[in-house]
Chain A
Amino acid sequence: MSQAPLLEIKHLTTKFSTEQGIVKAVDGVSLHIDPEETVGIVGESGCGKSVTAESILRLFDEKTTEYGGQILFEGRDLLQLSEEEMRKVRGNRISIIFQDPMSSLNPVYTIGDQIMEAIRLHQRASRRQAREKALELLRLTGISDPERRLRSYPHELSGGMRQRVMIALALSCEPRLLIADEPTTALDVTIQAQILELMNELKEKLRMGIMLITHDLSVVAQMCSRVIVMYLGEVVEEAEVTTLFDRPLHPYTSGLLKSVPQLDGRRKQKLYEISGAVPAMHEVEACCRFAPRCPFATELCRSKAPSLEEAEPGHRVRCWHYKDIQANGGGSDGSGLLVTA
């Protein structure tokens, strides 16, 4: 991995000013994505995955949002670009696919019109050329009967087909980086597998990097080479996918891995859960953020926040006790998941 990363985020913070005060949704996140690499970002709802993703494209209302740190992409800091320059990056160099395919398309236009519009936003093309390109993109996504789909309205398509259309839309300008924000959460399992397969294929074909946001660890196991685990706006663990599933160091990661139902588990066995819920962002104090829910928490965890340490090459973790926990066998065995996926 000697080449320059495609995207490098350094100490990103995203703060929203709300009526309840300032909320730090993302707090000092650093990560990088190499060209043609799929990186998974996992975590519970509300831990800042999507905010990180949308911060990359600066999709939030600039009046109530404050960004800090750097987002380096193609040699430029995206946070320093003007709105005009930013618009040329959005959809053109970096695309995003949203979770909900049902409301991601404008109901009053045909699929063809919408893909053609996306193409013509960034490329010089006549209507005819754009139409050809749209058809080609739809073919690429393996949708059935692409000529007819071009003339269909969104309500005439199923969820899986719409997600394929969304992928076609996202790929319309052949982006270098595709951000997929829970692309398969709203789909059923068979369609989910097809869509993931498709994304893998297209990644090879178009040579782009993918940032895959999900809370489904089996998706991560299937798709990603590296995983970043987030909790409450911070990166708590980062590792190669096999390392993470074999030897999770952070108690949160092992908790997540234990919470996945296993097909070969005993039937009466209760599913593991991490006790408590994700606290609201503005309740965060100066301590390990996971301490209130951590079974291994000590006085140290409750009084001082740990920093992200390199436990072994390429494996970073934010925990005071990762060495002890690993030695005591506190980490769970997630390798079964890798095999099944």
Chain B
Amino acid sequence: MASLEPIAVSAPPGRGRIAWRRYFSNPLLVTGTAIMSVVALLALLAPWTTSYDPYSIETLNRLQPPSGEHLFGTDQLGRDVFTRVVYGIRVSLLVGASVTAIAGAIGLLVGLASAYSPVCDHIFMRICDGLYAFPSILLAISIVAIMGPQTGNVILALTIVYIPSIARIVRSAALVVQEKTFIEGLRAQGAGVFRIMGLHMLPNVLSPLIVQASFVFAVSILTEASLSFLGAGIPAPEPSLGNLLLDGKNVIFKAWWMTVFPGVFIILMILGLNLLGDGLRDFLDPGAGSNNRFAKRKKAVRRRRRRSD
């Protein structure tokens, strides 16, 4: 410590800059968003990312291994596997996003209502218990079996299956918020029920909701793939990652590419969404700026270095 460097005093950074800095100091979140944006771009730009038609059959090119022409090879009917994977991701994302949005919205309402009214609580939570009692895939299969295998019905089935998990999270978060003095303060200010619930409880339960929603997104993609693999999901000619796995199953020893590539993309998406969820949890936790485990580890390293100096 020979000389003290003058400290540059600058204006405190704005809220936006702080948020950016926190985002980039959260490797889980950065990795998660990176994976998901690559996958999503690939799928959304499907007509441009591939020049093949996912349905066009070329019997001459059956079961071709991966090559420059067919990146992921071809299937038993000579369809380009890369194209089918890309369109399959589209279906997966569509199902996942719709389920998350609908189940998220309904779960939010159910959770808030249950936290507010004991009567609603008893009714809704018993229904949720009932839904929880069944294994989710079994329940989804039975719903699809009754309604018929269509994309819409798959979305409906998965929505019903995943509402309870969101409703419960929202309810427990809302119960905590409800006990805070500011809610009583709002009543003392003369605010009505709907104002308190909609404007004050809702924003306070949003961060656990978002985190849970990202996990629901991941599991609904996985469940949709399982349903399709079992033949109870998206109907056959339409490419979905589960359908592709099912097609590949019969020729798994002759054409590994037909199972490996769709499988890899399922793993990638689930991984990306889980990282995103974990990262969001650290990011949205108020006051957790230096509280996530990576920042802690970094701090510990710095401290150790300082001590050894």
Q: Could you tell me how many residues of chain B have their Cβ less than 8 Å away from some Cβ of chain A? A: 18
Of the A-B pairs whose beta carbons lie under 8 Å apart in the complex, a sample of 16, sorted by A's number, is: A59-B188, A90-B188, A91-B190, A91-B191, A92-B190, A95-B188, A103-B180, A103-B182, A106-B200, A106-B204, A107-B204, A109-B203, A117-B199, A121-B190, A166-B185, A169-B189
**CB–CB A98/B181 < 8 A:** yes
Contact with A along B170-213 (1 / 0, CB 8 A): 00000000001110111111111000000110011000000000
Chain A contacts for B68, CB-based, 8 A: none
The one of A100, A109, A155 that contacts B287, using a Cβ cutoff of 8 Å: A155
Chain A contacts for B190, CB-based, 8 A: 87-92, 121-122
Top 10 A-B pairs ranked by shortest CB distance?
A91-B189, A90-B190, A91-B190, A108-B203, A87-B190, A104-B181, A103-B181, A96-B188, A103-B180, A106-B182
Interface assignment of B286: CB less than 8 Å from any CB of chain A: yes
The one of A92, A98, A109 that contacts B185, using a Cβ cutoff of 8 Å: A98
Task: Give A119's nearest chain B residue, CB to CB.
Answer: B189
Contact with B along A169-199 (1 / 0, CB 8 A): 1000000000000000000000000000000
Bound-complex Cα distance A103 to B177 (A): 10
Q: Which residues in B have some Cβ–Cβ distance to A below 8 Å?
A: 180-182, 184-192, 199-200, 203-204, 286-287
Q: Could you tell me how many residues of chain A have their Cβ less than 8 Å away from some Cβ of chain B? A: 26
**CB–CB A59/B184 < 8 A:** yes
Distance in Å from the Cβ of B114 to the closest Cβ of chain A?
16
Distance in Å from the Cβ of B169 to the closest Cβ of chain A?
17
Interface assignment of A105: CB less than 8 Å from any CB of chain B: yes
Bound-complex Cα distance A44 to B192 (A): 33
Interface assignment of A319: CB less than 8 Å from any CB of chain B: no
The one of A57, A89, A92, A107 that contacts B286, using a Cβ cutoff of 8 Å: A107
**CB–CB A90/B187 < 8 A:** yes
**CB–CB B192/A87 < 8 A:** yes
Bound-complex Cα distance A283 to B280 (A): 50
Bound-complex Cα distance A103 to B186 (A): 12
**CB–CB A155/B185 < 8 A:** no
Contact with B along A140-173 (1 / 0, CB 8 A): 0000000000000001000000000010010000
**CB–CB B188/A121 < 8 A:** no
Task: Give B204's nearest chain A residue, CB to CB.
Answer: A108
Distance in Å from the Cβ of B15 to the closest Cβ of chain A?
9
Bound-complex Cα distance A114 to B286 (A): 19
**CB–CB B188/A57 < 8 A:** yes
Bound-complex Cα distance A96 to B182 (A): 12
Interface assignment of A211: CB less than 8 Å from any CB of chain B: no
Bound-complex Cα distance A117 to B191 (A): 9
Chain A contacts for B189, CB-based, 8 A: 90-91, 95, 118, 121, 169
Distance in Å from the Cβ of A173 to the closest Cβ of chain B?
9
Chain A contacts for B287, CB-based, 8 A: 155
Distance in Å from the Cβ of A84 to the closest Cβ of chain B?
9
Chain B contacts for A57, CB-based, 8 A: 188
Chain B contacts for A108, CB-based, 8 A: 203-204
Chain A contacts for B187, CB-based, 8 A: 59, 90
Distance in Å from the Cβ of A47 to the closest Cβ of chain B?
20
Chain B contacts for A96, CB-based, 8 A: 185, 188
Bound-complex Cα distance A224 to B220 (A): 63
**Residues of chain A from 30 to 61 with CB closer than 8 A to chain B in the complex:** 57, 59
Bound-complex Cα distance A221 to B247 (A): 86
Distance in Å from the Cβ of B198 to the closest Cβ of chain A?
12
Chain B contacts for A98, CB-based, 8 A: 181, 184-185
Chain B contacts for A87, CB-based, 8 A: 190-192
**CB–CB B191/A121 < 8 A:** yes
Distance in Å from the Cβ of A48 to the closest Cβ of chain B?
17
**Residues of chain A from 75 to 129 with CB closer than 8 A to chain B in the complex:** 87-92, 95-96, 98, 100, 103-109, 117-118, 121-122
Bound-complex Cα distance A103 to B176 (A): 12
Bound-complex Cα distance A91 to B188 (A): 6
Chain A contacts for B182, CB-based, 8 A: 103-106
Determine which residue in A108, A117, A166 has the highest number of CB atoms from chain B within 10 A of its CB, and name it. Answer: A108
Chain A contacts for B192, CB-based, 8 A: 87
Bound-complex Cα distance A117 to B192 (A): 12
